[in-house]
Structure 1
Amino acid sequence: MKWLRKKRVLLLLFIGFTAILFLSTNWMSWFYPIHYKDEIRKHSITYDIDPFLVASIIRVETNFKTGRESKKGAIGLMQLMPDTAKWALEKAKLPDASMEELKHEPSANIELGTWYLSTLSRQFEGKRTAIIAAYNAGPGKVQKWLDEGIWDGTDATIKDIPFGETRHYVQRVNYYYDQYTDIYNEF
Structure 2
Amino acid sequence: MSMKFVYKNGRKSDRTDKVEESQGTLPNKNNQPQKGDKKPVKPVILIIVLIAGLLFAAVFTGSCIERTFFYPTEYKKEVIAASDRFGTDRILIFSVINAESGFDKNTVSKKGAAGLMQIMPETAVFIAGKLGIKSYDLFDPGTNILFGAYYLKYLLSRFGDTITAVAAYNAGEGNVAKWLKVKEYSADGTTLKSVPYPETSAYIEKIKKSLKKYKKLYPSLVDKRKKI
CA distance in 1, matches of 2:94, 2:206: 12
Higher relative contact order (CA 8 A, sep 6+): 1
Aligned position for 1:60: 99
Largest Rg, 1 or 2:
2
Residue ranges of structure 1 left out of the alignment (5+ in a row): 1-11
1:47 matched to 2:86: yes
Gaps of 5+ in 2: 1-48, 222-228
Please give the TM-score of this superposition, normalised by the length of structure 1: 0.80
Q: Secondary structure at the match of 2:183?
A: coil
- Scaled by the length of structure 2, the TM-score of the pair is 0.66
Listed one character per residue, the Cα deviations across residues 115-164 of structure 1 (whole Å, up to 9, x for unaligned) are 11111011011x11001000001111101111233323647x2xx21111
Equivalent residue, structure 2, for 1:141: 175
> Relative to total residues, which structure has the larger helix share, 1 or 2?
1
Distance change >3 Å, CA 46–CA 165, structure 1 → 2:
same
Q: Does 2:67 align with 1:29?
A: yes
Q: Indicate conservation of the 8 Å contact 2:168/2:176, yes or no.
A: yes
Cα RMSD for the two superposed structures: 2.5
Give the one of 98, 108, 118 matched to 2:153: 118
Residue pair 1:62, 1:68 contacting (<8 A) in 2 also:
yes
SS in 1 for 2:220: coil
| Pairing 1:34-113 to 2, within 5 Å after superposition | 34-94=73-133, 96-97=135-136, 101-102=137-138, 104-113=139-148
Taking every aligned residue pair, what percent have the same amino acid on both sides? 34
Q: Secondary structure at the match of 1:71?
A: coil
